[in-house]
């Protein structure tokens, strides 16, 4: 039987990926699954796998993007056809566009989405925490420098992840968002999920011929990807991972190796299956087009 999927995540390690004339064939853990090229739009290889070069050729020729990610979700590379590149005129517009209003929109939307999820799950709030966040948001109309907006965005984000930790079983060891390598399963799953969201945003940016490293609020490699992903991270990533953690992850099935928490393959597969539902590709594409409209025509940038 040939399955029809629009995007396919191959997690874990050891998969052998080959192809026929009209299908992708994935062999992993003694299971062979075939996927039709006709429905497949994006292949994401998460971890260490083997893929035939002829298969990469077939995928690209059929208009299917291929993204390679580290085991922890960090994007490594995207394969796309020759001739697809950022537009130099748009790059110049990105370099010169006043970004304060766009950055403010992202910070405000992200903050309210996080406050909404905190309220939805009825997370415990310490005295003064909500007043502090509301005070930070109240300061924003007076913010004239991006550095100030970045500070508020970072502070609210740090508080949000620490507050959400109070809703997670203590035995999982999650206290706050941490840098890689992650020693607890919640941070590890958040990074994998964020990597899949980022890969989707990155492909949308490439498709719109934008330069992904020229951000609105962020700086550095894939800055624009980070900024546009911030419009959706709470809803499409955090909601899924935190719900999965609250439902129960058996600490006995986890192990530490190379200074990081190693996740069982079935847990990663369950997470990616839920993300397949929560990560809305069409909505992300529309958001990228909103950014292009703001860039090209000076239209207001709103979150769709």
Neighbours of 141 (CB within 10 A): 8
Task: Say how far residue 7 (Cα) sits from the centre of its chain.
Answer: 14
The full 3-state SS of 28-52, as one line of letters, equals ECCEEEEEECCCCCEEEEECEEEEC
- As given in the structure block, the two tokens for residue 114 are 């996080």
HSE, side-chain direction, 13 A CA sphere, residue 165 = 20
Q: Mind listing the pLDDT tens digit for each residue in 257-303? A: 888 999 999 999 999 999 999 999 999 999 999 999 999 999 999 99
Q: Mind listing the pLDDT tens digit for each residue in 119-165? A: 999 999 999 999 999 999 998 888 889 999 999 999 999 999 999 99
Q: Mind listing the pLDDT tens digit for each residue in 154-206? A: 999 999 999 999 999 999 999 999 999 999 999 999 999 999 999 999 999 99
- Determine the Cα angle at 104 with ends 101 and 109, to 5°: 130
The separation between the first and the last C-alpha atoms of the chain, rounded to the nearest angstrom, is 37
**Cα–Cα distance, 235 to 65 (Å, whole number):** 24
> What is the pTM (predicted TM-score) of this model?
0.94
**Cα–Cα distance, 205 to 94 (Å, whole number):** 12
């Amino acid at each position: 039987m040939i399955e029809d999927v629009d995007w396919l995540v191959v997690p874990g390690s050891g998969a052998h990926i080959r192809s026929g004339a009209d299908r992708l064939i994935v062999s992993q853990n003694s299971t062979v699954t075939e996927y039709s090229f006709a429905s497949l739009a994006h292949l994401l290889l998460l971890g260490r796998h083997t893929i035939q070069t002829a298969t990469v050729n077939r995928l690209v020729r059929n208009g299917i993007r291929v993204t390679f990610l580290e085991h922890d979700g960090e994007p490594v590379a995207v394969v796309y056809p020759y001739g697809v590149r950022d537009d130099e005129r748009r790059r110049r517009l990105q370099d010169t566009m006043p970004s304060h209003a766009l950055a403010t929109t992202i910070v405000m939307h992200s903050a309210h989405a996080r406050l909404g999820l905190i309220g939805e799950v009825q997370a415990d709030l310490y005295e003064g925490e909500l007043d502090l966040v509301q005070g930070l948001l109240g300061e924003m109309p007076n913010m004239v420098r991006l550095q100030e907006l970045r500070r508020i965005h970072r502070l609210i984000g740090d508080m949000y992840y620490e507050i959400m930790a109070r809703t997670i079983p203590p035995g999982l060891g999650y206290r706050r968002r941490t840098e890689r390598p992650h020693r607890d399963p919640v941070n590890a799953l958040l990074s994998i999920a964020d990597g899949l969201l980022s890969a989707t945003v990155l492909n949308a940016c490439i498709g719109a011929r934008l330069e992904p490293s020229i951000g609105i609020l962020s700086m550095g490699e894939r800055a624009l990807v980070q900024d546009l992903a911030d419009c959706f991270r709470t809803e499409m990533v955090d909601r899924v991972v935190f719900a999965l953690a609250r439902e129960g992850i058996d600490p006995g099935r986890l192990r530490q190796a190379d200074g990081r928490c190693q996740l069982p393959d079935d847990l990663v597969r369950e997470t990616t299956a839920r993300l397949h539902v929560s990560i809305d590709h069409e909505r992300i594409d529309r958001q990228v087009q909103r950014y292009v409209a703001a860039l090209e025509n000076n239209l207001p940038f709103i979150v769709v």
